[in-house]
Structure 1
Amino acid sequence: METLLSRTLNGFPTFMCFWTVFCSGCHGGEMDFIFDAESYGNIYSNKSNLNGFCERKMKVSSMDLWSVSTEDVIAEFPIDPIKENYVRRVKSCIFSLVYPTPFTSAVQLVAVSEDVLENLLDLHLSVAETNAFLQFVSGGKTMPGSVPLAHRYGGHQFGAWAGQLGDGRAHLIGTYINRYGERWELQLKGSGRTPYSRSGDGRAVLRSSVREFLCSEAMHYLGIPSSRAASLVVSNDAVWRDQFYNGNLKKERGAIVLRVAKSWFRIGSLEIVAQYGEIDLLRELVDFIIEEHFLSISRSDPNKVLAFFSSVVSQTANLIALWMSVGFAHGVCNTDNFSLLSITIDYGPFGFMERYDADYVPNTSDDGGRYKIGNQANVGMFNLNKLLVALKPLMDTRQRQLASQVLGGFPDLYYQRFTELFRAKLGFLGEREQDLTLIASFLNLMEDTKPDFTMTFRQLSEITREQLQNLSIPQEYFALYDLSQHKKFPDWVALYLQRLKSSPGDSDPERRQRMTGINPIYVLRNWMAESAVRKAEMNDFSEVHLLQKVLRRPFHAQKIAERAGYSQRPPSWAKEVKVSCSS
Structure 2
Amino acid sequence: MEINIAAVSFLMTLANCFLLCLNCSDVCGIDGWRLHSINASKSRHSARRHNIPTLSCKKLMEAFPLDEVDGNYVRTVKRCVFSESPPTPLKSPLKLAAVSKEVLESILDLDVPISLFEDFVLYFSGGKLFPGSVPLSHRYGGHQFGYWAGQLGDGRAHLLGEYTNRKGDVWELQLKGSGKTPYSRSGDGRAVVRSSVREFLCSEAMHHLGVPTSRAASLIVSEEPVWRDPFYNGSVQKERGAVVLRLARSWFRIGSLEILTRSGELDLLRKVLDFVIEEHFTSIKTNDPDKYVTWFSTVVNETAHLIAQWMSVGFAHGVGNTDNFSLLSITIDYGPFGFMEAYNPSFVPNTSDDEGRYSIGAQANVGLFNLEKLLEALYPVLNSDQQSWAKHILKGYPQIYQRRFQELFKAKLGLEGEEEDDDDGYLIAFLLKMMEDASADFTMTFRQLSEVSALQLHSRSISKTMWALQELSMHEYFPEWVNMYLPRLQRAQRSDEARQHRMRGVNPRYVLRNWMAESAIQKAENDDFSEVRLLQEVLARPYTEQHRAEERDYASPPPHWARGLKVSCSS
- The AA in structure 1 aligned to 2:562 is A
Q: 1:491 and 2:462 equivalent?
A: no
Q: 1:351 and 2:322 equivalent?
A: no
Q: 1:477 and 2:477 equivalent?
A: no
Q: 1:551 and 2:522 equivalent?
A: no
- The AA in structure 1 aligned to 2:356 is G
**How far apart are the structure 1 equivalents of 2:432 and 2:141?**
37
Q: 1:293 and 2:280 equivalent?
A: yes
**How far apart are the structure 2 equivalents of 1:459 and 1:328?**
19
Match of 1:240 among 216, 227, 231: 227
Residues 447 and 55 of structure 1: CA distance in aligned 2, closer, same or farther (over 3 Å)? farther
Q: Which deviations, in whole Å up to 9, do the C-alpha atoms of 1:450-497 show, x marking residues without a partner? A: 110000000000000110110111111110011100111001001100
Match of 1:214 among 201, 212, 227: 201
**How far apart are the structure 2 equivalents of 1:59 and 1:355?**
45
Q: Which deviations, in whole Å up to 9, do the C-alpha atoms of 1:190-223 show, x marking residues without a partner? A: 0000000000000000010000000000000000
Whether the 8 Å contact between 1:55 and 1:179 is mirrored in structure 2 is: no
- The AA in structure 2 aligned to 1:387 is L
1:456 is matched with 445
1:83 is matched with 70
Q: Which deviations, in whole Å up to 9, do the C-alpha atoms of 1:273-326 show, x marking residues without a partner? A: 011100000000000000000010011111100011000000000000000001
Mapping 1:206-285, distance limit 5 Å = 206-285=193-272
- The AA in structure 2 aligned to 1:177 is T
**How far apart are the structure 2 equivalents of 1:83 and 1:580?**
33
Whether the 8 Å contact between 1:57 and 1:179 is mirrored in structure 2 is: no
Match of 1:523 among 511, 514, 518: 511
Mapping 1:27-426, distance limit 5 Å = 58-60=29-31, 61-62=33-34, 64-426=51-413
Mapping 1:568-579, distance limit 5 Å = 568-579=556-567
- The AA in structure 1 aligned to 2:29 is M
2:523 is matched with 535
Q: CA deviation at 1:56?
A: 8.9
**How far apart are the structure 2 equivalents of 1:430 and 1:181?**
39
SS of the aligned residue for 1:257 comes to: strand
Identity level (%) = 61
Residues 56 and 391 of structure 1: CA distance in aligned 2, closer, same or farther (over 3 Å)? farther
Q: Which deviations, in whole Å up to 9, do the C-alpha atoms of 1:530-562 show, x marking residues without a partner? A: 000000000000000000000000000000000
Q: CA deviation at 1:129?
A: 1.3
- The AA in structure 1 aligned to 2:442 is F
Whether the 8 Å contact between 2:300 and 2:397 is mirrored in structure 1 is: yes
Q: Which deviations, in whole Å up to 9, do the C-alpha atoms of 1:83-134 show, x marking residues without a partner? A: 1221000000000001000122211111000100110111121221122211
- The AA in structure 2 aligned to 1:266 is R
Corresponding residue pairs, total: 529
- The AA in structure 2 aligned to 1:160 is Y
Q: CA deviation at 1:59?
A: 2.1
Whether the 8 Å contact between 1:225 and 1:319 is mirrored in structure 2 is: yes
**How far apart are the structure 2 equivalents of 1:203 and 1:503?**
54
CA RMSD of aligned residues (A): 1.2
**How far apart are the structure 1 equivalents of 2:114 and 2:445?**
42
- The AA in structure 1 aligned to 2:450 is S
Unaligned runs of 5+ in 2: 1-24, 35-48
SS of the aligned residue for 2:217 comes to: strand
- The AA in structure 2 aligned to 1:582 is S
- The AA in structure 2 aligned to 1:82 is V
1:507 is matched with 495
SS of the aligned residue for 1:219 comes to: helix
1:466 is matched with 455
Q: CA deviation at 1:65?
A: 3.8
Whether the 8 Å contact between 2:223 and 2:241 is mirrored in structure 1 is: yes
Point out the structure with max Rg over C-alpha.
Answer: 2
Whether the 8 Å contact between 2:52 and 2:131 is mirrored in structure 1 is: no
Whether the 8 Å contact between 2:156 and 2:189 is mirrored in structure 1 is: yes
**How far apart are the structure 2 equivalents of 1:124 and 1:160?**
46
Residues 337 and 55 of structure 1: CA distance in aligned 2, closer, same or farther (over 3 Å)? farther
